[in-house]
């Protein structure tokens, strides 16, 4: 037998030893990685596991029609989505909004406190807080449990760190092969996807010990779970190109809203200016959000003494303030159901911003007219009433 043929078994022996050693090393490294960095990062996964819970309703800005038109806050939207998923038709959205009026939750003072307390008052549900690493989310996102998870989620990995107010959202799906998570999100719309990498980066905005925290709401009655599993599956409507197109603008708008919520005028001005400067703002951004952005930018400029620009943007807000309840491209419209006038196509409070700008400009009569115009739409606006009273008494 030739010498080279005699060496073949010996060569395979070393290759086998090398492969075994490499496998042991990788396993040990992965174990150590997840031990020291639980839930923060993921190694590349070759799993093909993918599941999206069916029939979780979207409640939020983008389909604000019908019963959902009674929902005007982020927190109430999430509650309505969860309740309607588990027990369709058993809860009035209007009542949910009344019980959960706040739009945001500050994690620095509480984690989901308003929402958790609300669910705890519902006799049919068990409520728990859980820390769930990314790699373990499938324990709820599966065909057996089908449990949507509620969490706080920063608007973007680049969100300013001083803005520690994060919207609540609903996690409904995971795709380990593509490394994507799927949400029904108040701001970004239905079937909003976030990559594992971005999700981990967002979690790093939370203090240590408050990352990967979820509110788990499940029915106490097993029959409700069985009904969910037996329910006819209605395919989700595609997310559509429109929502993808305006997503960066929604980010700027929402971060500005968070800045307003915590009194951060600098970031309010920064993100609204960036938003309005975007070429897509006037052509593609939803009319309601255009009006709101113009009015809020006017208010921010007025607080800095920039009366000229403030007045210009306030007038733009009023010029655009019509037909807000009508569909617009991929936007379903936003009926203003709270107006005492019954006019669902306009909002009243931007008239107060215009009135403030006119007053600062020395136009007292114009300011009075603006305040009255706002009250003609919504006579319950206490801030506009107070502003008018100061000028007329």
Tens-place pLDDT, residues 248-263: 999 999 999 889 888 8
| pLDDT of res. 248 | 96
> End-to-end CA distance of the chain, in Å?
115
**Which residue in this structure is represented by tokens 């919207």?**
167
- pLDDT at residue number 9: 41
- CATH architecture designation of domain 241-392: Alpha Horseshoe (1.25)
**208 versus 296: which is more confidently predicted?**
296
For residue 102, name the pLDDT band (cuts at 50, 70, 90): low
Supply the mean pLDDT for the chain.
87
Q: Does domain 51-230 have CATH number 3.90.70.10?
A: yes
Asked if pLDDT for residue 194 goes beyond 80, the answer is yes
Give the per-residue pLDDT at 393: 82
Tell whether the model's pLDDT for residue 242 goes beyond 60.
yes
Of 356 and 117, more confident: 356
Closest CA to 132 of 54, 208, 39: 39
Judge whether residue 14 has pLDDT over 50.
no
Average pLDDT over residues 270-286: 97
- As a whole number, mean pLDDT of residues 42-69 equals 83
3-state secondary structure the chain: CCHHHHCHHHHHHHHHHHHHHHHHHHHHHHHHHHHHCCCCCCCCCCCCCEEECCCCCCCCHHHCCHHHHHCCCHHHHHHHHHHHHHCCCCCCHHHHHHHCCCCCEECCCCCCHHHHHHHHCCCCEEEEEEECCHHHHHHCCCCCCCCCEEEECCCCCCCCCCCCEECEEEEEEEECCCCEEEEEECCCEEEEEEEHHHHHHHHCCCCCCCCCEEEEEEECCHHHHHHHHHCCCCCCCCCCHHHHHHHHHHHHHHHHHHHHHCCCHHHHHHHHHHHHHCCHHHHHCCHHHHHHHHHHHHHHHHHCCCHHHHHHHHHHHHHHCCCCCCCECCECCCCCCCCCCCCCCCCCHHHHHHHHHHHHCCCHHHHHHHHHHHHHHCCCCHHHHHHHHHHHC
Confidence of residue 66 (pLDDT cuts 50, 70, 90): confident
Angstrom distance (rounded) from CA 190 to CA 235: 12
pTM given for the model:
0.83
pLDDT of residue 43 exceeding 50, the answer is: no
Residue extents of the structural domains in the chain: 51-230, 241-392
Average confidence (pLDDT) over 372-386: 96
Phi and psi dihedrals of 129, rounded to 5? -95, 135
Range of 45-54, 94-103, 132-141 with top mean pLDDT = 132-141
Q: What percent of the chain has pLDDT over 70?
A: 86
């Amino acid at each position: 037998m030739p010498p080279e043929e005699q060496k073949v078994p010996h060569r395979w022996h070393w290759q086998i030893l090398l492969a075994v050693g490499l496998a042991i090393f990788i396993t040990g490294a992965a174990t150590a990685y997840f031990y020291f960095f639980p839930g923060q990062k993921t190694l590349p996964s070759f799993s093909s596991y993918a599941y999206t819970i069916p029939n979780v309703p979207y409640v939020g800005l983008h389909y604000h029609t019908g019963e959902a038109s009674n929902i005007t806050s982020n927190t109430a939207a999430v509650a309505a989505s969860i309740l309607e998923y588990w027990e369709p038709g058993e809860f009035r959205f209007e009542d949910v909004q009344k019980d959960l009026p706040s739009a945001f939750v500050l994690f620095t003072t509480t984690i989901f406190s308003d929402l958790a307390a609300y669910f705890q008052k519902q006799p049919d549900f068990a409520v728990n807080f859980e820390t769930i690493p990314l790699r373990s989310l499938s324990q709820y996102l599966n065909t057996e449990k089908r449990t949507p998870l509620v969490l706080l989620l920063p608007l973007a990995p680049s969100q300013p760190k001083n803005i520690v107010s994060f919207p609540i959202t609903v996690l409904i799906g995971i795709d380990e092969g593509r490394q994507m998570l799927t949400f029904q999100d108040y701001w970004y719309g239905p079937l909003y996807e976030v990559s594992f990498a971005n999700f981990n980066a967002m979690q790093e905005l939370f203090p240590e010990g408050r990352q990967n925290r979820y509110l788990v709401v499940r029915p106490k009655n097993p029959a409700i779970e069985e009904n969910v599993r037996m329910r006819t599956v209605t395919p989700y409507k595609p997310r559509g190109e429109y929502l993808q197109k305006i997503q960066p603008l929604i980010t700027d708008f929402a971060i500005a809203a968070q800045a307003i919520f915590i009194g951060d005028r600098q970031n309010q001005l920064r993100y609204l200016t960036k938003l309005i400067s975007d070429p897509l703002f006037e052509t593609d951004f939803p009319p309601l959000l255009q009006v709101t952005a113009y009015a809020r930018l006017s208010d921010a400029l007025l607080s800095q003494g920039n009366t000229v620009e403030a007045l210009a943007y306030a007038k733009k807000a009023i010029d655009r303030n019509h037909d807000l309840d009508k569909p617009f491209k991929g936007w379903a419209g936003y009926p203003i159901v709270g107006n005492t006038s019954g006019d669902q196509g306009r909002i009243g409070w931007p008239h107060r911003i215009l009135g403030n700008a006119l007053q600062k400009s020395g136009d007292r009569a114009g300011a009075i007219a603006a305040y009255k115009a706002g009250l003609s739409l919504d006579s319950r606006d206490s801030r506009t009433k107070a502003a008018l009273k100061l000028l007329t008494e």
